[in-house]
């Protein structure tokens, strides 16, 4: 590993940007060492400032389901850019992307585009509160819904990586109405509703938890949330910022057959440009201004370059065998990793949902995790050593023991085989 240029850039960065980064996990605090600076990327590869190439499973933290710099998306963005980068007026591309989304996800009868997943969840909560006239929200420990105040209690992703219990700067009042319960714990949800039911506006959940490692829902969890919400007149919000267009065109709601009232999107829906979206039942979405009294707006919302990238991406995903191909590649990867891990005494296990995977060390169980507590019991120290050893072998995982990996359709068999070999070599060097 060469780090000359990345180290120089990092020194410049820390003088002018907090921690040298514009999103905390990138700073490598979770794994130590000098963050790598990326100059370009193509297909399954990223290239760093020192000219090194890595097979990348971060995929910009989820959006890049087609791999890096796919030709069709680049062309669409270039065509859009020729017409101007932003107008602040209504455009046809917004209508077109909204039509793609509402067609793919039938529970979303109307959709509003924003510029990030954070804005999407924050706005969906406001809509739920405006629609129900209630204030409280139930969320789950270890789920991440972006960095809006109301969601920064016991959150996943960077909050988990940095071990931050709450968040400074968030007034008590902003999280007073946020009730946090353990993931997959329907009894806790029911207890919370029996105490506060008539004041709860919504339950927000990652239908597959992907920001505290990978925690799939137990079979009864999502249907259980649906019926509790129905019983008490609260709205069910699926935060599909990761799972949307990842678990299939219809997202987690189609995959598990549970229909939420509101859905939030981000990541894939913008094809690598800054986009988020929230949508749902028509009667609920009609509270959004200018139709109704819930204000939500954005100077760059529905940005033409971002809409073009989103449309070009969804058009690829709409190809008939897209998801079966992608998921079988991911399965080839995790099957191969299973064998390698077995040959190392099952020091770690790898879990997978569709094309999302997660590798964790010294798990206490022989099944996927069911809660944040279980993930927290993993051996993060061993992950740190493995992360660096794997980087040395030319493969990037996210620099945190709490983040998942993403397989894209640019990961071909040769890249997957090279990854399996790299993991084997990395484990040999870590375990001596």
Helices (H), 65-139: 71-82, 92-104, 117-132
The answer to whether residue 242 forms part of the interface with ligand PLP (CB under 6 A) is yes
**Which is catalytic among the residues 154, 267, 323, 372?**
267
The answer to whether residue 117 forms part of the interface with ligand PLP (CB under 6 A) is yes
Query: What is the number of other CB atoms lying within 10 angstroms of the CB of residue 70?
Result: 23
**Tokens read off for 209:** 């938890």
The answer to whether residue 276 forms part of the interface with ligand PLP (CB under 6 A) is yes
144 assigned to active site:
yes
Nearest residue to ligand PLP by CB is: 117
* Binder of ligand PLP out of 57, 140, 144, 245 (CB under 6 A): 144
**Tokens read off for 426:** 């990395």
376 assigned to active site:
no
Preceding peptide of 235 cis, ω within 30°? no
Q: Parallel, antiparallel, or unpaired for β 45-48 and 53-56?
A: antiparallel
* Binder of ligand PLP out of 6, 29, 107, 118 (CB under 6 A): 118
DSSP one-letter string for 394-428:
TEE--SSTT--EE--TT--HHHHHHHHHHHHHHHH
C-alpha span between 338 and 420 (Å, rounded): 10
* Binder of ligand PLP out of 29, 107, 121, 263 (CB under 6 A): 121
* Binder of ligand PLP out of 94, 239, 374, 403 (CB under 6 A): 239
C-alpha span between 33 and 12 (Å, rounded): 16
C-alpha span between 349 and 137 (Å, rounded): 34
Residue 211 contacts residue 158 (beta carbons within 8 Å) = no
Residue 7: CB minimum distance to ligand PLP, A = 27
Residue 215: CB minimum distance to ligand PLP, A = 12
Cβ-proximal residues to 432 (8 Å cutoff; 6+ apart), any chain: none
**Which is catalytic among the residues 239, 261, 327, 351?**
239
* Binder of ligand PLP out of 184, 211, 253, 303 (CB under 6 A): 211
C-beta of 91 vs 243, nearer to ligand PLP: 243
Piece of the chain touching ligand PLP by CB under 6 A; list 50-58, 141-149, 368-376, 419-427: 141-149
**Which is catalytic among the residues 57, 144, 278, 372?**
144
Residue 308: CB minimum distance to ligand PLP, A = 18
- What is the binding site for ligand PLP (CB under 6 A)? 116-118, 121, 144-146, 206, 211, 239, 241-242, 266, 276
């Amino acid at each position: 590993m060469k780090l000359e240029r990345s180290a120089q850039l990092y020194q410049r960065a820390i003088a002018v940007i907090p921690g040298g980064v514009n999103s905390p996990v990138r700073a490598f605090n979770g794994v130590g060492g000098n963050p790598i600076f990326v100059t370009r990327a193509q297909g399954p590869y990223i290239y760093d400032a020192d000219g090194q190439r890595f097979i990348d499973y971060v995929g910009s933290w989820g959006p890049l389901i087609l791999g890096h710099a796919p030709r069709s998306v680049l062309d669409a963005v270039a065509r859009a850019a020729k017409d101007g980068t932003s107008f602040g007026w209504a455009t046809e591309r917004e209508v077109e992307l909204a039509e793609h989304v509402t067609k793919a996800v039938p529970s979303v009868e109307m959709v509003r585009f924003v510029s990030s997943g954070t804005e999407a969840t924050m706005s969906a909560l406001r809509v739920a509160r405006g629609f129900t006239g209630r204030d409280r929200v139930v969320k789950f420990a270890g789920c991440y819904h972006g960095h809006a105040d109301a969601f920064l209690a016991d959150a996943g992703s960077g909050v988990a990586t940095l071990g931050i219990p709450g968040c400074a700067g968030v007034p008590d009042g902003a999280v007073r109405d946020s009730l946090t319960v353990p993931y997959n714990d329907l009894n806790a949800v029911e207890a919370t509703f029996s105490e506060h039911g008539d004041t709860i506006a919504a339950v927000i959940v990652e239908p597959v938890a992907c920001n505290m490692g990978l925690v799939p829902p137990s079979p009864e969890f999502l249907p259980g949330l649906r019926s509790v919400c129905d019983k008490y007149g609260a709205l069910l919000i699926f935060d599909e910022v990761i799972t949307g267009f990842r678990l299939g065109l219809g997202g987690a709601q189609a995959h598990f057959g549970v229909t939420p009232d509101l859905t939030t999107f981000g990541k894939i829906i913008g094809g690598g440009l800054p986009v988020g979206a929230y949508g749902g039942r028509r009667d609920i979405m009609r509270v959004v201004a200018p139709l109704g009294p819930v204000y939500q707006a954005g100077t760059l919302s529905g940005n033409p370059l971002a809409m073009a990238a989103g449309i070009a991406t969804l058009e690829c995903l709409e190809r008939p065998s897209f998801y079966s191909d992608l998921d079988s590649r991911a399965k080839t990867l995790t099957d191969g990793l299973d064998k390698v891990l077995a040959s190392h005494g099952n020091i770690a296990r790898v879990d997978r949902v569709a094309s999302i995977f997660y590798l964790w060390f010294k798990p206490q169980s022989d099944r996927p995790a069911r809660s944040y507590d279980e993930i927290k019991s993993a051996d993060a120290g061993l992950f740190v050593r493995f992360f660096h050893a794997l980087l040395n072998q030319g493969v990037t995982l996210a620099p945190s023991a709490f983040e998942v990996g993403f397989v894209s359709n640019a990961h071909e068999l040769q890249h997957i085989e090279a990854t399996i070999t790299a993991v084997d070599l990395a484990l040999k060097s870590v375990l001596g």
